[in-house]
Amino acid sequence: MTQSKKIAVTGGIGSGKTEFCNILKKFGYPVFSCDEISHALWKDEAYLSGLAELFPTCVVDGTVQKSRVSALVFSDKAALEKLNAYAHPRIMQKLLDEMQADPVSVAEVPLLFEGGFERLFDAVVIVKREEETRIKSAARRDHLAEEEIRARVRAQNPHEEKEGGKFIVVENNGSIGELFLAAERVIKKLGI
């Protein structure tokens, strides 16, 4: 049995990762999302039980409040590290299990470098965009204040130093048409 080729797409909040992945879907590649897996885990009782143990102050009437966890972790670096240490391995295991069935698959992985998960992928596409554009885009999309988005930006590792080898940087400061052309170039470069 041949091993599947796994490609990660990452970048800072509001960089256009999802749009890039949507373009790859149009080319016929299966795309998996760590955010979707994370949302699904929030419905898993065993997962929520572990979160309740980690963050008892975020439990109201026996239920872990996602908004309280978010507010806590984006204002307290130690809490963020605790959440990442708990959530990331579970998310990544489910992601890799889902990706196994396809000869080539793509995963949208927002916190790829923060967890050191880049080593699990054959190639990494880093979508970059000017910071102010990212912040405005993410604030509009997520219906959050720009300061909340800035706190999330500060919590992410910068991706600027990653280029070359298995890392491919895509600049996303233009139109959707330009992003489409960039996706075509990435597909050609990866030989998929």
- pLDDT tens by residue, 77-123: 999 999 999 999 999 999 999 999 999 999 999 889 888 899 999 99
Tokens encoding 127: 């979508």
> Hey, is 145 helix, strand or coil?
coil
pTM of this prediction? 0.82
The CATH number linked to 14 is 3.40.50.300
**pLDDT for res 156:** 66
Query: How many domains does the chain divide into?
Result: 1
**Which residues, listed in sequence order, are joined to residue 7 by a DSSP beta bridge?**
106, 123
Start-to-end CA span in the chain (Å): 18
DSSP one-letter code for 156? S
Nearest to 24 by CA among 106, 93, 136: 106
**Which residues, listed in sequence order, are joined to residue 74 by a DSSP beta bridge?**
none
DSSP one-letter code for 162? -
- pLDDT tens by residue, 42-58: 999 999 999 999 999 99
Range of the domain at 105: 5-190
Burial-class residue 38 by CB neighbours within 10 Å (0-12, 13-18, 19+).
middle
